[in-house]
Amino acid sequence: MTPADPGEIAAIDQRQRSLPLVAALATRAGRRSGRWHVPGHKGQAIEPTLAAAWGDCWAWDLTELDGLDNWAAPQGAIAVAEALAASCFGAAATRFLVNGSTSGLVAAIGAVCGDGDEILVARNAHQSVLSGLILAGARPRWVMPEVDRPWQMPTVVTPEAIAQALADYPAVKAVLVVSPTYHGWVSDLGAIAALTRSRGIPLIVDAAHGAHLGLHPELPPSPLAVGADLVVVSAHKTLGSLTQSAMLHLHHNAQIDRARLEQALRWVTSSSPSYLLMASLDAARWRAATQGRSDWEATLARVDRARSRLVADPNLQLLPIANGDRSRLTVHLPGWTGYGVDEALDRDWGITAELSSPHHVTFVWTPANSDEEGDRLVMALGELARSPQASPGSEINWPGSLAPIAPAPLTPRAASQAPTETLPIAQAVGRIAAEWICPYPPGIPVVIPGERISVEAIAQIQQTLALGGDCTGQADYEGQTLRVVA
Ligand SMILES: Cc1ncc(COP(=O)(O)O)c(C=O)c1O
């Protein structure tokens, strides 16, 4: 078995054609009466709209019953389904997650860091990483990703930056990076893993956007295949499972205390994990194993076709991604904000993008997108780019630059638990943040609990809001006030 090519593995492994958890659930779902157990709907719809739309899913929404195993101590159908997922994706072990990659990342940090322990984290970390730092009591040591200036987005974390940070912070217990990014940038994880292995510390990869990597030879390899210790993937984003379902994969030589990881996973997982979500993960693994290669062959061909037509259009620009995940398509229409493009596509064309920014808009392709949809997207973008609003050559003035990393007198946990006061945002400069603020885009937290709030951070928040973007993490959704340590 070569972990680098899960699609090939599946082709020779007949067990991958089975659906153990789906089959177990089907058997129990057939029992319509005699249900004296929860859930309280007893397999019957409680409302007509959902009854019509959701069909029989009520009957399938079951809990830990005979034959259905127990997520917290899997020994039956869940254990078999997870083992098949591990084999399909080239892992030594896989755990199904019902609370997204969010729960996997929080648990991963909890498994490697205790109170006051240091961990090296790429600054473009998702907010779930901040939750993990707060819950574990860990002290982040930040490493900056590269930034594509014209497109104003974080790209990769270089091995050189990691090597320097490891030299600067020799006590770190682990390294955590995001790869691929939202836009499809993939870091040189092989080189980074070589650095962490030589230090005897684990490399944790937030691959929320890369559950499909490695399923086709023209996609980047999966982080596991190049040596990452622990990889968290949002199967719901690209493998077709239900929203919130995700997987945590462990490398064969993972430098992770498995018992501690299991404990941390239980902290962040319901004692009634959804069997609908877990069965959808079983189905997503089956699909990846049995048709992953052909699914992504077709998908990449569709994206390439759209890409070649868009590249030929002089009125718009395509984000060039070298060595990245080309199933992500990011487009800039001069004269338009990304928000404007998003709105016009939704309103006039019934097309909804994944992510928009002042500068660009990003589309996620999966095997569920058809050729017709691709053609319509290309046509719509072409028309918008030729509309009177378009002005080739004009650029949106959106600095969106990365705020410098500020001094951090407190850990994120200490700051989150300290007495606070709430200030108008402009008056918060120089104070210690008690909450995080993460402008979307670029999705990099600019204010971190425990750090002194910089002028640049406040400017970036205000700019993002003024241009119609959002900020998340703070108590005041409008972003007008900020909680600081009293
Ligand atoms: C980079 C990154 N990491 C982690 C997550 C969390 O994933 P989930 O929604 O599956 O919890 C996201 C969600 O968008 C993300 O973009």
User: How many CB atoms are located within 10 Å of the residue 8 CB?
Assistant: 15
Residue 123 alpha carbon to ligand 1 centre in Å: 15
Query: pLDDT truncated to tens, each residue of the chain (486 aa)?
Result: 334 455 555 455 899 999 999 999 999 999 888 999 999 999 999 999 999 999 999 999 999 999 999 999 999 999 999 999 999 999 999 999 999 999 999 999 999 999 999 999 999 999 899 999 999 999 999 999 998 888 888 899 999 999 999 999 999 999 999 999 999 999 999 999 999 999 999 999 999 999 999 999 999 999 999 999 999 999 999 999 999 999 999 999 999 999 999 999 999 999 999 999 999 999 999 999 999 999 999 999 999 999 999 999 999 999 998 889 999 999 999 989 898 999 999 999 999 999 988 889 999 999 999 999 999 999 999 999 998 876 655 566 655 556 778 899 999 999 999 999 999 999 999 999 999 998 776 667 889 999 999 998 998 888 888 877 888 888 998 888 999 999
CA of 99, closest atom in ligand 1? 11
Q: In 3D, which of 79, 128, 126, 85 has the Cα closest to residue 103?
A: 128
Q: Is 246 in the pocket of ligand 1 (CB under 6 A)?
A: yes
- Pick the residue whose CA is nearest to atom 13 on ligand 1: 208
Integer Cα distance of 299 and 327 in angstroms = 7
> Is residue 469 exposed (0-12), middle (13-18) or buried (19+ Cβ within 10 Å)?
buried
CATH class of the structural domain 292-386: alpha beta
Q: Is 128 in the pocket of ligand 1 (CB under 6 A)?
A: yes
Residue 386 alpha carbon to ligand 1 centre in Å: 34
Per-residue DSSP letter, 66? T
CATH of 6-290, one of 1.10.132.20, 3.40.109.10, 3.40.640.10, 3.30.420.40: 3.40.640.10
Residue 102 alpha carbon to ligand 1 centre in Å: 6
Backbone angles phi, psi at 353, to 5 degrees: -80, 170
Of 95, 102, 181, which is best to mutate to test ligand 1, by the most ligand atoms within 8 angstroms of its C-beta? Answer: 102
pTM recorded for the entire structure: 0.95
pLDDT on residue 482: 94
Integer Cα distance of 438 and 253 in angstroms = 34
Residue spans per domain, the chain: 6-290, 292-386, 412-485
Q: In 3D, which of 331, 308, 305, 306 has the Cα closest to residue 319?
A: 331
Integer Cα distance of 247 and 304 in angstroms = 28
pLDDT on residue 337: 87
Token representation of residue 63: 């809990």
Which residues make Cβ contacts (< 8 Å) with residue 261, sequence separation at least 6?
Answer: 107, 108, 111, 230, 250
The angle, 0 to 180 degrees and rounded to 10, between the axes of the packed helices 275-311 and 20-29 is 130
Q: In 3D, which of 125, 237, 111, 124 has the Cα closest to residue 174?
A: 111
- Rounded to the nearest angstrom, the gap between the alpha carbon of residue 161 and the centroid of all alpha carbons in its chain is 22
Residue 126 alpha carbon to ligand 1 centre in Å: 7
Helices and strands (DSSP H and E) totals, the chain? 16, 17
Exposure of 77 in the CB half-sphere (CA atoms within 13 A): 24
Q: In 3D, which of 454, 449, 457, 459 has the Cα closest to residue 485?
A: 449
Of 109, 181, 209, 212, which is best to mutate to test ligand 1, by the most ligand atoms within 8 angstroms of its C-beta? Answer: 209
Token representation of residue 36: 């004296």
Token representation of residue 173: 């217990």
Of 96, 98, 101, 121, which is best to mutate to test ligand 1, by the most ligand atoms within 8 angstroms of its C-beta? Answer: 101
Q: In 3D, which of 333, 382, 393 has the Cα closest to residue 357?
A: 333
Q: Is 100 in the pocket of ligand 1 (CB under 6 A)?
A: yes
Q: Is 242 in the pocket of ligand 1 (CB under 6 A)?
A: no
Q: Is 234 in the pocket of ligand 1 (CB under 6 A)?
A: yes
CATH class of the structural domain 412-485: alpha beta
Integer Cα distance of 439 and 65 in angstroms = 44
Residue 188 alpha carbon to ligand 1 centre in Å: 20
Residue 300 alpha carbon to ligand 1 centre in Å: 23
Residue 480 alpha carbon to ligand 1 centre in Å: 26
**Helix (H, G, I), strand (E, B), or coil: what is residue 214?**
coil
Token representation of residue 11: 């082709």
Cα–Cα distances in Å, from 32 out to 50, 60, 62, 172, 272? 18, 10, 12, 54, 20
- Pick the residue whose CA is nearest to atom 10 on ligand 1: 100
Q: Is the four-CA dihedral 225, 226, 228, 233 of positive or negative sign?
A: negative
Q: Is residue 196 a contact partner of residue 182, using CB atoms and an 8 Å limit?
A: no
Percent helix, strand, coil in the chain (nearest 5)? 40, 15, 45
Q: Is 227 in the pocket of ligand 1 (CB under 6 A)?
A: no
The count of residues in the chain is: 486
Q: In 3D, which of 219, 220, 223, 172 has the Cα closest to residue 196?
A: 172
Q: Is 178 in the pocket of ligand 1 (CB under 6 A)?
A: yes
